[in-house]
Structure 1
C-alpha cells in the first residue's frame, strides 16, 4: 500500500514539472509575428536633392520675335564656366536654361557685371550725365546733362535729339540692349518659372529731375 502511494506521488510530481517547462519555452503566436515584421521591414531612403536649377528666360530677352536663334542655343565656353549645362527653346517664346546649383551665384554675378558694363558705355554719351538703377535693374534712370554744360552742337543735332523723344520706345536703339539684359538678370535672380511678367522701366530725366520720358519694356 505504501509502495503504491509513493508511485502515485512521483507520477504527479513528474506531470507538474512537464507543464511548468512548457509554459516557459513556447513563445506566443503574436510575439512570433511581431518579430517577423521587424526583421523584414525595409529601411526608407531619403529623397535625393536636386543639383540644378531650371530657369525660364522670357521671350523679351530675344529680339527676333521672342524666339532664340540657333546661335542663342549654342553652349559656349562662357556658358559652361558659369554653370549652364543645357538650353532649350520654348515654342511660345523664350528659353529654359539648366544651371548647376553650385555655379548659380557665379552666373548671376557674371550677368550683373555685363549689365554694369553696358550702362557705363551708355553713360559715355555726351548728353547723359549719369545713369542710376535699383538692386535688380528693374528700374533704370537716365539723367541728362544740364543745358548750360552741354557740348557744342549744331541745330541739326537739336532736331535729331527732339525727334528721338517722339519715336515709339521700341525704336530707341541706345538702351534696347540694356532692356534685354535687365530682363535676363531678373529672370536669373528670381529663378523664373514663367509665372510672372518681368519688365524693365527706363526713365529719362533732365538735370533738375523732371521726367522727360518713361517707358516699360516689354510694353504691357
Structure 2
C-alpha cells in the first residue's frame, strides 16, 4: 500500500460524505464530484516539474515558476471518468485529454475496450488516469496496459473510491503506478460494487439507471 495515497483533507471527506447520501440529486452529485476533483488535483499534481520564466509585475521584472500543462494528459475512462475530468480541467485547463471506452462484462466482470483516442507524442507526457470507482480493478489494469504501450513518462491513477480488491489488483499488475483516492471502502459485493460505496457513479452523474 506504499504507493496508495488517501487524500484525507477535511473538505474532500466532507464532500465525499454528501455524495454518498442516497437522496443526493443528480445535480448535487455532479457538482460535488466536480468540486472534489478540483481539490484532489492539488495533491495529484504536487510533484509535477516546474520551469522558470520571466514575468513583469506592476513594479518590476522578476522570475516565477510555471507548470507546462500541455505535457500533462488527463485520460478519462468512459463514461463515469468525465465527472472527475471536468473538475480537473477547471484547475489545469491547458492539459490535453485522452479517452478510453471500457465496459465491464456483467458475467465475467472483465473489461472490454470499445474506444481509444489519445493526444500525439505521448512519450513526452505525464498521464493521470481518472475513473470514479476502483472496484475490481480490471478496467484500471486494462487502461494502464494500453497506455503503457505508448511509452509515457509517467502514469498515475485517480479515483473517488477504491475497494481493497481493486487496489490489490492494480498494484499487482502495475506496482509503479501511484493510486490517489478519497477513501478505501470495506469490500466488493457479489456484483462487483463497492461497499458501502455510493452506488453506480455513472448513473448518479448522468441521471440514468
Structure with higher Rg: it is: 1
TM above 0.5: no
TM-score, with structure 1 as normaliser: 0.27
| The structure with more helix, counted as a fraction of residues | 1
| The structure with more strand, counted as a fraction of residues | 2
TM-score, with structure 2 as normaliser: 0.28
